[in-house]
Chains A and B, each alone.
Chain A
Amino acid sequence: MTAGNIALKQVLEEPIKGSSLWRDAARRLVRNPSAMVGLFLIGMFVFVAVFAPFISPYDPSAGSITDASRFQPPSVNHLLGTDLLGRDILSRIFWGARASLWVSILSVTLGLTIGLVAGAISGFFGGWIDFWIMRVVDIMLSLPGLLLTITIVVFLGPGLNTIAFAIAIENVPIFARILRSSILGLKESDFTTAARSIGAKESRILINHIMPNALTPMIVAATLALATAIVDAAGLGFLGFGPQDPSTPEWGAMLNDTYRYLTSGAGFTALFPGVAIVLSVLGFNLLGDGLREALDPRLKR
């Protein structure tokens, strides 16, 4: 056997790694620097939120309203300074991350679940049920987002859980519509017809063939929805619909506490919570865009 034959034999016998779309997408994602920056920011955000009780230098609600302890600029003792009640801003940002993480995860999970069910029923069954689900979706999308959430929160009373519920309701029509449109496309796809031609059951076609393919755009939408949820939660918190106990730190409420002092030399008190919101939102947006590129079949090589 010649050397060439041996080499060829080796190539042929080399095990073929099952490289799924998901694995390929993960590889493309890791190679995308901005997505990795996003992932890093999200990692920081989640770490801070989870470990806030252990890494916060001070009790986030403990302060004193003496002139000496209020509005302290950043120093070795208080890395980000103190707010109008003399509380440590760094500790409050750490604890505030918990509120943001909770609202974003709860709202997206809830919104995604309802949106998935509605979109799947609508797209797969079609007919009158599709018609009515889509009309409800149209009505919900025609209401301005923030107005809808405020209305819901006003009805249900303020608090993190009602904020999360309101944001979830805002997201449902978006998720439902995205899923429906991908299912409509996939229902006509060649591999669905091929699955039908071998006698696969309709339920099996939906679960094994259509859903795994329809979920890719949903993953991107859900990641971007996490970012929107943080902004919305902060916005509602700023407007005073957040936790009513002022000692519970929430980024939007922190901005509301301090924006009046922006021009009187205590700008940092509003700057740092703002930066925290921007960085966490940026993280989810960068990751979302990275996922979109990684999962987009048109970019497949």
Chain B
Amino acid sequence: MIAFDEPAADRLLSVEELRVEFSSSSGRVHAVNGITFELAPHETLGIVGESGCGKSVTSLAIMGLLPKPAGRIAGGQVIFDGTDLLTLKADEMRELRGRDLAMVFQDPMTSLNPVITIEEQLVEVIRAHDSKVNKAAAHKRAVELLELVGIPNAKERLRGFAHQLSGGMRQRVMIAIALALHPKLIIADEPTTALDVTIQAQILELIQRVANETGAAVMLITHDLGVVAGMTQRIQVMYAGRIVETATTRELFAHPRHPYTVGLLRSIPRLDLGDNRALIPIDGLPPDMTRERPGCPFAPRCAWATDQCLVEDPELSSVIAGQRTVSAGPEATHRVACWNPATDEEAAQGAPASGHVSAITDSTQARAAAAAAALSDAP
């Protein structure tokens, strides 16, 4: 358990030791392994990681939308606006969804119902939480919302259907639906992944603009560091269901400490450097999430790994030892979960400094495998 040095009273969201498991035919998948983070009101947080690292599952768990019965919250707390969402009844949680918590999904092509009009889908959310709103008022609000998200001809568009809109327009409609009731938190799960590049920037700009106008906090989930660079104040990097590094956006890009973050940054194309370097992939595959292993989950792919990494689990802690920890907001502390964080020079090189003895030897690997096997055999 990480103790924060400041009161969490002004936090919009605080997630503590959240664990999510999925049961599957190949065993129990540990999708989220005890993550702890906080979000200040009006803050824009980016959550970055590769497919399967648990970032979408985290957002679904917060929303109470984990697929049933496979997904299960195995522990932790999700405190939103003073209430633990995990203790709410289904009806109480439904009241919060759409009103205080809203979500924008990855694929606007499939997130709108193909057989009912755009208007019906907008009016649905407006009236779902307040049946006293009459049809005319709901219609007026729907027009305002479409205008807010920059859809021309809003009145006409309302009568149309999803398939008459382009992908970018559909995502604007999804954002309008999310905004309908001025939520305090908008979770955008890969909102630009399914869109083409020219539209991506527009949609990100739109999310940022409407968040500023309505004062909503935003959790932007993406696998693309380029997407979060421009619009988030803070970034959390996830790997194998854990947060491995978190810092303000500026700090993270300038001084990445976790070897995984270093790898992610080096795999982004850079035009400003002028040379035609090949992109540098991160070797290896993400770990098998059905097995609980000891040690750092990134260790098998990490050039910095030592013996300790394979057997001991690093905790997320401040990069400067003994520093006062600020968990959210613009003053957030740079924290990393790594035994051997990269230095600035090493991050620029993308490799440990010469003289570093990588400890991934056959014997340590065998030891780690044995430890893992022992753990999975345990009842």
Contact = CB atoms under 8 A, between A and B. Distances in A.
B94 A201 contact: yes
B113 A195 contact: yes
Given A20-B115, A20-B161, A208-B124, A197 B153 contact: no
B98 A18 contact: no
A16 B164 contact: yes
Interface stretch (B100-108, B273-281, B348-356): B100-108
Contacts of A30: none
Interface residues of B, number: 40
Contacts of B98: 197-200
A28 to B, nearest CB: 13
Nearest to A189: B110
Contacts of A297: 114
Contacts of B180: 198
Contacts of B65: 193, 196-197
A213 B162 CA distance: 14
A22 B97 CA distance: 31
Interface residues of A, number: 30
Nearest to B63: A197
A193 B189 CA distance: 13
Given A188-B67, A198-B128, A18 B111 contact: no
A21 B112 CA distance: 13
Contact of A212 (B95, B116, B124, B129): B116
Interface in A1-51: 12-13, 15-22
A16 B157 contact: yes
Among A189, A190, A196, max chain B CB count under 10 A is at A190
B161 A199 contact: no
Interface in B118-166: 120, 124-125, 128-129, 152-153, 156-157, 159-161, 163-164
Contacts of A193: 65, 105, 111
B96 interface: yes
Given A15-B156, A198-B97, A199-B125, A21 B161 contact: yes
B46 to A, nearest CB: 20
Interface in B50-95: 63, 65, 67, 94-95
29 contacts: A12-B153, A15-B156, A16-B153, A16-B156, A16-B159, A18-B159, A18-B160, A19-B160, A19-B161, A20-B117, A190-B107, A190-B110, A191-B111, A191-B112, A191-B114, A194-B103, A194-B105, A194-B111, A195-B113, A198-B178, A199-B98, A199-B99, A199-B128, A200-B128, A201-B128, A204-B124, A208-B113, A208-B116, A300-B163
Given A18-B117, A201-B94, 8 more contacts: A16-B153, A16-B159, A191-B110, A199-B94, A199-B97, A199-B125, A208-B120, A213-B114
